């Protein structure tokens, strides 16, 4: 673990894996909830956690470097179910990379419980971990100039859902109508670090039937984020590109 100062009132803690970053983030959230860690914001990333709004960063830096990393936390927090049509243009290529059929690749993906490790790239985009490392896939050699909103994609060992149309180089395996980012919703982002995610397969010709529900007016259109983090997925373009 390495602790670096960031400005006058923040620290950046570097660790060796995304699992360690998730464990540290969860432990710091617990300390803040208990009142023993006066910090304004905790922002996890792939192998770092940013602590912002500290009154005495020097004292906390010395404390953090003297303690061992906590164990990776058990999967907890709320679960978001994402209906998905496994109809992506790269599904066959991903299946070939895994050495299975397209149907089996969809079954493997849908049978995995994911967790939002951190957020980045675009508002509402969560980097989901959960797939074993041997299912990692490379980015496309040539990125697409436009990836449709709602595309379910893989790169490395991460899964993500594009919250809006944008360029991107991840492997597209499916689509969903679930709205990941809605500025008129509170919170605007459906996902936050620590949220568990399950992908629920539907037939390619079947609408997922959720876009209208999530865009409906009124306070019932989005659940309150009550998972391990109270910080929904914001914009953070310093994270791995998609």
- Supply the pLDDT for residue 242: 62
Q: Are residues 53 and 88 in the same domain?
A: no
Q: Are residues 83 and 56 in the same domain?
A: no
Residue 235 maps to a domain: no
Q: Are residues 99 and 213 in the same domain?
A: yes
What's the whole-model pTM score?
Answer: 0.75
Domain containing 29 equals 2-65
Tell which wins on pLDDT, 242 or 133.
Answer: 133
Q: Are residues 102 and 168 in the same domain?
A: yes
Domain count, the chain: 2
Q: Are residues 202 and 168 in the same domain?
A: yes
Residue 34 maps to a domain: yes
Check pLDDT > 60 for residue 186.
yes
Residue 73 maps to a domain: no
- Supply the pLDDT for residue 145: 97
Q: Are residues 47 and 117 in the same domain?
A: no
Q: Are residues 155 and 215 in the same domain?
A: yes
Residue 227 maps to a domain: no
Residue 95 maps to a domain: yes
Q: What is the CATH number of the domain that holds 136?
A: 2.40.100.10
**Predicted confidence band of residue 181 (pLDDT cuts 50, 70, 90):** very high
* Tokens coding 206: 């079947």
- Supply the pLDDT for residue 42: 92
Lowest mean pLDDT among 4-18, 82-96, 126-140, 204-218: 204-218
Q: Are residues 100 and 149 in the same domain?
A: yes
Q: Are residues 175 and 99 in the same domain?
A: yes
SS3 sequence, the chain? CEEEECCCCEEEEECCCHHHHHHHHHHHHHHHHHCCCCCCEEEECCCEEEEECCCCHHHHHHHHHCCCCCCCCCCCCCEEEEEEECCCCCHHHHHHHHCCCHHHHHHHHHCCCEEEEEECCCCCCEEEECCCHHHCECCCCCCEEEECCCEEEEEECEEEECCCCEEECCEEEEECCCCCECCCCCCCECCCCCCEEEEEEECCCCCCCCHHHHHCCCHHHCCCCCCCCCCCCCCCCCCCCC
Q: Are residues 110 and 172 in the same domain?
A: yes
- Supply the pLDDT for residue 204: 72
């Amino acid at each position: 673990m390495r602790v670096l100062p960031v400005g006058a009132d923040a620290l950046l803690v570097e660790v060796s894996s995304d699992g360690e970053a998730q464990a540290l983030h969860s432990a710091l959230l617990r300390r803040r909830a208990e009142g023993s860690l006066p910090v304004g914001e905790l922002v996890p990333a792939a192998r770092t956690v940013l602590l912002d709004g500290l009154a005495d960063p020097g004292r906390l830096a010395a404390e953090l470097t003297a303690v061992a990393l906590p164990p990776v936390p058990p999967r907890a927090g709320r679960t978001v179910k994402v209906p998905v049509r496994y109809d992506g243009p790269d599904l066959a290529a991903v299946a070939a990379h895994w050495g299975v059929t397209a149907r089996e690749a969809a079954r493997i993906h849908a049978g995995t419980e994911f967790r939002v490790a951190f957020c980045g790239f675009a508002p509402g985009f969560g980097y989901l971990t959960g797939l074993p490392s041997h299912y990692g896939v490379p980015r496309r050699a040539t990125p697409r100039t436009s990836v449709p909103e709602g595309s379910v994609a893989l790169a490395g060992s991460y899964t993500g859902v594009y919250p809006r149309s944008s360029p991107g180089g991840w492997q597209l395996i499916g689509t969903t109508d679930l709205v990941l980012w809605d500025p008129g919703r509170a919170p605007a982002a459906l996902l936050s670090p620590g949220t568990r995610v399950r992908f629920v397969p539907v037939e390619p010709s079947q609408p997922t039937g959720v876009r209208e529900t999530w865009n409906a007016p009124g306070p019932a259109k989005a659940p309150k984020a009550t998972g391990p983090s109270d910080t929904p997925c914001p914009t953070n373009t310093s994270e791995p590109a998609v």
